[in-house]
């Protein structure tokens, strides 16, 4: 990796920062955040403005360019990568280290008095604007919205915003029609006494209308906004795709519907002016509901007194609780995914000893097996295929420069998943194709104990996921080991592989309580820098539990694994497992045999079936 | 309990709300919060204004009186009590229930347009002012500070603010001189580039100057503020007590000290004007450090741009980490406390069967035994002495109306503690003086398993206490049982029995990480409404742990119990304990025998010693 040379680009950017064509007054600093106008985790190439200006293309980072300086804030996952990808024009600001200033504090320290700091108001979330603006103002500076994105003005070959065809999902996939979702949303709006709801997150628009797209890699979403009133529905979306007959029929665009279900289709770019018109026409007590993470531009369109902001929207919360059709779809998707992985691991077991399988080849092979399954759409994220020391890099993705050959001497970690039309998968298995050391087995077994502790946990209705995080760590902690990431995230139903509002992490506190029908991952790990990485990840469904006393009728919850892929018994030190844990593994493997075995049989995949049966032999605990 | 008749009082309050002698403009609503000017948990009688105006004297509650309404917000612990103590003039607002409006929302719903809402700016914390003021302003009302407390104007026989003599603590108790504490504080101030630090919490003033008082029951504190500059020390305190020779010597008031250690003693009431003078004299970049819970009045004295607000002050954090002298003091205090409780339980075992011991008698007897111990000062909180159904009332305090006789048929729960000059104690034991039922033993054993899970937990340095909370619940959860309170709180060293910034609770997230030297309680419970309550509480010290891999030198922590009082083995269903848990109990009891046994011996308390030996016989687990 050689760094991107940015001298010329920075010169151009500094020129437009003073160019009255783009800025009312010159700005002395310009902020380039990571995200897009929807605060998406995964973004389209046209939104990779921070990567364009700096060369650093990790998933998180904020660039700030002043007349003299160019600085990049990113977190521990990316210190090395950012240092490699950026040239000497850039200063790396290592977030999380004690001496690293915040962006605001740094700006205050370098700016001449009375400076203007510019930012694209569509890209910066309102809550972040508020925080920065406050600090800057108290130091005599101003944060100002710059309407035209200054990066776009100097980005000659900026890719087009994608505008790919839409997929319509019928009731057999979604369980609830878009009309019924609108009805439910309006009832939530009535409860909170709001008249309008603005849908800004891409997965929320997709979920609400039972549509999917492919504008962003890995996430089956499309660029759109929606504004739902008590009697109106406005969908802001571009392209011919709205002329597609199945889409028109799905949305009933050409039927004479009751007025409150008639969808007005409007250009994507008209959201701001339309919302400003809504804002201008509000009578007292008419509130507009927005996510507090919506962009500053859209939030400002509504006068402050009329805004109703919440961290999680009612769509986000409804989307998280999967109905029977979605749950069944997720089950089917996970069975197909397990078939693909049984094929893969059987193949790896034969091929790895030959010394010809690299991390990239293994990842490609996993995709090949998955793509053979019914309703496969694409991967759900970039496959983490890592062996030996690469396994200790938590967000590793093999590239030619780092690509390592799998061997019988190193642990192999595969974290991968796919989008099927009926569900989204995300599974991690850690395998050894030779003989693991006692230490590797010990660490693996602690991780497994943590995985089981969460998966088998019983807890009262209303418990937040973050309260379960320590269960995953207890066995590791007892020996002085830990892992520096959360234990689980919400998973969408043929939607984003990471979604709110629930999860299992020591880092969050504002997560919504778990309830039956929610789907999260359970993925503790252990990482030994320079040596190996271990992670065991299942996607699990929150289900009601049976308990002796049932929390005085408050109700009990537990998890059911949807992922049904064998956990390599070769890696387990059985003597470190309790009887209960041993039984959990054996019952889990029995279920893999029954459910995935039947599907392998049905698909005529006999060799993979033999592999599955061999890998799911019951553990025998020495008493 | 008959309710307080408040018709006349409310009439008087509504008059002063319009009286230009007290308010610049009439206020349409007046807020009476719970606290004092220092945001203390326990308050002096002169600060019990909410109880005076309403009759409701629970520890938490806010009254709001408008021209038409009088409403009281309190939480689930006090719904019953508040309903009993208040007359029909009052509406009870049950916090935590779905349909209960917040104070702000309620005000907005009942006030005429453009109303003024008054509050004493010394009593309301700045963060709360900010939240309320924002909501009121957006609805067209105004929150206004009313200088003179309106309750005080109508409270004819308002008690005097206490002004009791001070106790000086020498190095053998505190380990660090007040001068060294000032030096350490100034170095923290220099780190954060602040020029002034305002000490507003009473326990922080007491800790900083190594002084104690008795202005507030149970809390050895005194009414005072302090303002620490880089070269000045101002102590705001009233009374003759500053003429006391030991106090003068301790503070070196009559010596010629280096100027930066000279303490200027000023009247308690002059804090606001002095702070305003400080605020007016600040040059740019000179910041003043305050707790974000400091009163609105003091916070406003410093212009906004000069404020440096944090949730926990450097004193709060330093105070929480006990040094060797403090830890040794706490150990001594807990041994003495255990002696008193051995005496008590031995006495109860003999007396309860006679049917003559009530909850109040038992509580008094506990105090009597404690008061026989060296350096006993007072109780550290109102003794919770409860038997049978009273045990299920978590914050129960026996009064003549509820006083129940202990019997051999009911569980007895005693949660009590004391202030000794060398330390503060807080211990809960649950006993049966007859034969407990299988169900009672089952519940007790789950609570014990939770207690042990926390006490024996090993976790990496830097872990926050709230991450351990679920460990205390896991065994209960498995059977569908839970308890609706946190698991632990910080404990002061001859200071408040509840202190920040650490604790073990699912409710908080902003707690500071645990570190060696911190002291918290470990007190899971189980409560069966109408039948019994179970709680097992030890005060525990955070200590370094030995682990196999030591978190890559990040270091490991665990707990050491300071409380050394037998846990009644009669209540334990040994078959529900793991071998590890059984060993924990036996080792704990062995330590009680050795340490407390020796002290009982030394004090010649032979009968109590025999009781201790009997109660600490090792458990035998059936294999």
A247 & A335 share domain:
no
User: B506, A480: Cβ pair inside 8 Å?
Assistant: no
pTM confidence score: 0.94
Look up tokens 């009262």; give the residue. Answer: A460
Q: Mind telling me how many Å the CA of A505 is from chain B's nearest CA? A: 10
B335 & B313 share domain:
no
With respect to residue B620, please indicate whether it lies within any of the assigned structural domains. Answer: no
Q: Mind telling me how many Å the CA of A246 is from chain B's nearest CA? A: 43
Distance (Å, whole) CA A491 – CA A337: 15
A-B C-beta contacts closer than 8 Å:
74
Does the CB of A439 have a partner CB in chain B at under 8 Å? no
Assess contact for B29 and B118: CB atoms under 8 A: yes
Task: Report the residue from B459, B477, B549 with minimal CB separation from A458.
Answer: B477
Query: Measured between beta carbons, which residues in chain B are less than 8 angstroms from residue A471?
Result: 470, 474
- Give the number of other CB atoms < 10 A from CB of residue B185: 19
Distance (Å, whole) CA A620 – CA A202: 49
User: B480, A304: Cβ pair inside 8 Å?
Assistant: no
Does the CB of A218 have a partner CB in chain B at under 8 Å? no
Q: Mind telling me how many Å the CA of A457 is from chain B's nearest CA? A: 8
Does the CB of A105 have a partner CB in chain B at under 8 Å? no
| Beta-bridge partners for A532 | A528
Task: Report the residue from B469, B481, B556 with minimal CB separation from A467.
Answer: B469
Q: Mind telling me how many Å the CA of A545 is from chain B's nearest CA? A: 9
Q: Mind telling me how many Å the CA of B574 is from chain A's nearest CA? A: 19
Q: pLDDT for A342-356, tens place per residue?
A: 999 999 999 999 999
- Give the number of other CB atoms < 10 A from CB of residue A505: 17
B267 & B337 share domain:
no
The residue of chain B with its CA nearest to that of A509 is B509
Q: Mind telling me how many Å the CA of B589 is from chain A's nearest CA? A: 23
Is it the case that residue A74 has pLDDT exceeding 60? yes
Q: Which of A130, A447, A480, A578 should we substitute to test contact with B (largest number of B Cβ atoms within 10 Å)?
A: A480
pLDDT for B622: 66
Task: Report the residue from B138, B481, B506 with minimal CB separation from A467.
Answer: B506
Q: pLDDT for A398-418, tens place per residue?
A: 999 999 999 999 999 999 999
Q: Mind telling me how many Å the CA of A104 is from chain B's nearest CA? A: 15
Of B154, B180, B204, the position where a domain reaches its end is B154
Q: What is the dihedral of CA B12, B17, B18, B21, to 10 degrees?
A: 90
Q: Which residues of chain B have pLDDT under 70?
A: 1, 622-623
pLDDT for B2: 87
B267 & B132 share domain:
no
Query: Measured between beta carbons, which residues in chain B are less than 8 angstroms from residue A556?
Result: 477, 480
- Give the number of other CB atoms < 10 A from CB of residue A448: 25
With respect to residue A287, please indicate whether it lies within any of the assigned structural domains. Answer: yes
A365 & A382 share domain:
yes
Does the CB of B468 have a partner CB in chain A at under 8 Å? yes
pLDDT for B285: 80
B110 Cβ neighbours under 8 A, 6+ residues apart: B66, B68, B69
B29 & B114 share domain:
yes
With respect to residue B212, please indicate whether it lies within any of the assigned structural domains. Answer: yes
How high is the ipTM of this complex? 0.92
Tell me if the bond preceding B501 is cis, omega within 30° of 0: yes
With respect to residue B159, please indicate whether it lies within any of the assigned structural domains. Answer: no
Does the CB of A268 have a partner CB in chain B at under 8 Å? no
A85 & A215 share domain:
no
pLDDT for A97: 84
Does the CB of B105 have a partner CB in chain A at under 8 Å? no
pLDDT for A507: 86
Does the CB of A484 have a partner CB in chain B at under 8 Å? no
B59 Cβ neighbours under 8 A, 6+ residues apart: B34, B41, B42, B78, B395
Determine the structural domain holding residue B232 and report its residue range: 167-319
Task: Report the residue from B482, B549, B554 with minimal CB separation from A460.
Answer: B482
User: B509, A509: Cβ pair inside 8 Å?
Assistant: yes
The residue of chain B with its CA nearest to that of A466 is B467
Assess contact for A385 and A416: CB atoms under 8 A: yes
Task: Report the residue from A464, A469, A550 with minimal CB separation from B467.
Answer: A469
A positions 584-603 inside 8 Å of B (CB):
none
Percent of chain A at pLDDT > 90 equals 92
- CATH no. for residue A594? 3.90.230.10
pLDDT, mean of residues A16-39: 96
Of B269, B290, B319, the position where a domain reaches its end is B319
B578 & B473 share domain:
yes
Task: Report the residue from A471, A479, A551 with minimal CB separation from B470.
Answer: A471
- CATH no. for residue B136? 3.40.350.10
pLDDT for A266: 98
Q: pLDDT for B500-539, tens place per residue?
A: 999 999 987 778 999 999 999 999 999 999 999 999 999 9
Does the CB of B543 have a partner CB in chain A at under 8 Å? no
Does the CB of B576 have a partner CB in chain A at under 8 Å? no
Task: Report the residue from B467, B471, B550 with minimal CB separation from A506.
Answer: B467
Q: Which of B450, B454, B462, B549 should we substitute to test contact with A (largest number of A Cβ atoms within 10 Å)?
A: B549
The residue of chain B with its CA nearest to that of A550 is B480
B438 & B501 share domain:
yes
Distance (Å, whole) CA A474 – CA A471: 5
Residue A597 C-beta-side C-alpha neighbours within 13 Å: 15
B293 & B334 share domain:
no
User: A477, B458: Cβ pair inside 8 Å?
Assistant: yes
pLDDT, mean of residues A175-201: 96
A409 & A500 share domain:
yes
CA B585 to each of CA B132, B411, B451, B453, B582: distance values in angstroms, whole numbers, following the listed order = 50, 21, 11, 12, 5
Is it the case that residue A138 has pLDDT exceeding 90? no
The structural domain count of chain A equals 3
pLDDT for A106: 96
Of A290, A319, A348, the position where a domain reaches its end is A319
Query: Measured between beta carbons, which residues in chain A are less than 8 angstroms from residue B623?
Result: none
Q: pLDDT for A453-511, tens place per residue?
A: 999 999 999 999 999 999 999 999 999 999 999 999 999 999 999 999 999 999 877 78
A296 & A337 share domain:
no
Q: Which two tokens stand for residue B322?
A: 């006990």
Does the CB of B323 have a partner CB in chain A at under 8 Å? no
Does the CB of B548 have a partner CB in chain A at under 8 Å? yes
Distance (Å, whole) CA B490 – CA B614: 32
Distance (Å, whole) CA A452 – CA B197: 49
With respect to residue B15, please indicate whether it lies within any of the assigned structural domains. Answer: yes
User: A549, B474: Cβ pair inside 8 Å?
Assistant: no
pLDDT for B395: 86
Residue A285 C-beta-side C-alpha neighbours within 13 Å: 5
The residue of chain B with its CA nearest to that of A482 is B551
Sign of the CA dihedral running A102, A104, A109, A111: positive
Is it the case that residue A104 has pLDDT exceeding 70? yes
Task: Report the residue from B305, B457, B551 with minimal CB separation from A138.
Answer: B305
Q: Mind telling me how many Å the CA of A477 is from chain B's nearest CA? A: 5
Does the CB of A557 have a partner CB in chain B at under 8 Å? no
With respect to residue B161, please indicate whether it lies within any of the assigned structural domains. Answer: no
pLDDT for B284: 82
Query: Measured between beta carbons, which residues in chain A are less than 8 angstroms from residue B548?
Result: 479-480
A546 Cβ neighbours under 8 A, 6+ residues apart: A556
Distance (Å, whole) CA A131 – CA B375: 51
Does the CB of B469 have a partner CB in chain A at under 8 Å? yes
pLDDT for A54: 98
pLDDT for B30: 98
Task: Report the residue from A305, A470, A547 with minimal CB separation from B470.
Answer: A470
pLDDT band at A623 (very low <50, low <70, confident <90, very high): low
Q: Mind telling me how many Å the CA of B72 is from chain A's nearest CA? A: 24
Task: Report the residue from B473, B480, B482 with minimal CB separation from A548.
Answer: B480
The residue of chain B with its CA nearest to that of A546 is B480
pLDDT for B1: 65
User: B551, A480: Cβ pair inside 8 Å?
Assistant: yes
Is it the case that residue A57 has pLDDT exceeding 60? yes
Q: Which two tokens stand for residue A356?
A: 């010809």
């Amino acid at each position: 990796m050689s760094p991107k040379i940015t001298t010329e680009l920075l010169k151009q950017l500094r020129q437009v920062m003073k160019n009255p064509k783009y800025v009312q007054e010159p700005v002395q600093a310009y902020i380039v955040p990571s995200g897009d106008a929807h605060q998406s985790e995964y973004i389209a190439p046209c939104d990779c403005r921070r990567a364009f200006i700096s060369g650093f293309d990790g998933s998180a980072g904020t660039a700030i360019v002043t007349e003299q300086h160019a600085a990049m804030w990113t977190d521990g996952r990316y210190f090395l990568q950012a240092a490699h990808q950026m040239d000497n024009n850039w200063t790396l600001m290592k977030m999380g280290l004690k001496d690293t200033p915040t962006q605001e504090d740094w700006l205050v320290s370098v700016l001449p008095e009375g400076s203007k700091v510019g930012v694209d108001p569509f890209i910066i979330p309102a809550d972040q604007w508020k925080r920065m603006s406050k600090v800057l103002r108290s130091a005599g500076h101003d944060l100002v919205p710059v309407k035209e994105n200054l990066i776009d003005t100097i980005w000659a070959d900026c890719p087009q915003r994608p505008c790919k065809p839409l997929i319509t999902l019928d009731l057999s996939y979604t369980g609830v029609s878009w009309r019924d979702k609108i009805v439910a949303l309006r009832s939530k709006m009535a409860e909170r006494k709001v008249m309008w709801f603005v849908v800004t997150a891409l997965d929320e628009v997709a979920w609400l209308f039972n549509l999917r797209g492919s504008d962003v890699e890995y996430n089956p979403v499309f660029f759109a906004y929606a504004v739902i009133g008590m009697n109106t529905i406005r969908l802001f979306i571009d392209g011919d795709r709205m002329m597609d007959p199945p889409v028109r029929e799905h949305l009933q665009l050409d039927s004479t519907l009751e007025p409150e279900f008639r969808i007005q289709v409007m250009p994507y770019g008209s959201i701001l002016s339309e919302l400003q018109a809504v804002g201008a026409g509000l009578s007292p007590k008419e509130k507009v509901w927005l996510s507090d993470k919506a962009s500053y531009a859209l939030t400002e369109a509504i006068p402050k007194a009329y805004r109703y902001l919440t961290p999680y929207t009612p769509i986000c919360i409804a989307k998280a609780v999967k109905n029977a059709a979605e749950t069944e779809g997720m089950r089917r998707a996970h069975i197909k995914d397990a078939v693909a992985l049984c094929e893969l691991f059987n193949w790896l077991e034969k091929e790895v000893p030959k010394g010809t399988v690299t991390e990239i080849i293994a990842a490609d092979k996993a995709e090949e097996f998955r793509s053979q399954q019914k309703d496969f759409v694409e991967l759900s994220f970039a496959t983490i295929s890592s062996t030996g020391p690469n396994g200790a890099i938590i967000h590793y993705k093999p590239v030619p420069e780092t690509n390592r050959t799998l061997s019988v001497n190193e642990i192999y970690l595969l974290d991968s998943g796919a989008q099927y039309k009926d569900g989204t998968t995300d599974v991690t298995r850690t395998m050894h194709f030779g003989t693991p050391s006692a230490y590797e087995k010990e660490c693996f077994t602690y991780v497994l104990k943590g995985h089981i502790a969460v998966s088998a946990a019983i807890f009262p209705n209303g418990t937040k996921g973050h309260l379960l995080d320590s269960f995953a760590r207890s066995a590791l902690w007892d020996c002085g080991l830990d892992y520096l990431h959360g234990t689980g995230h919400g998973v969408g139903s043929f939607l984003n592989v990471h979604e709110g509002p629930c999860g299992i992490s020591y880092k969050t506190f504002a997560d919504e309580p778990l309830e039956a029908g929610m789907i999260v991952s359970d993925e503790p790990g252990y990482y030994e820098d320079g040596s190996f990485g271990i992670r065991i990840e299942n996607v699990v469904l929150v289900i009601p539990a049976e308990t002796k006393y049932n929390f005085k009728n408050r109700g009990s919850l537990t998890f059911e694994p949807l992922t049904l892929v064998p956990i390599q018994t070769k890696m387990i030190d059985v003597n470190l497992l309790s009887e209960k844990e041993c039984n959990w593994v054996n019952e889990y493997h029995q279920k893999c045999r029954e459910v995935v075995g039947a599907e392998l049989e049905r698909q005529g995949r006999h060799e993979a079936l033999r592999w599955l049966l061999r890998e799911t032999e019951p553990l025998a605990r020495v008493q």
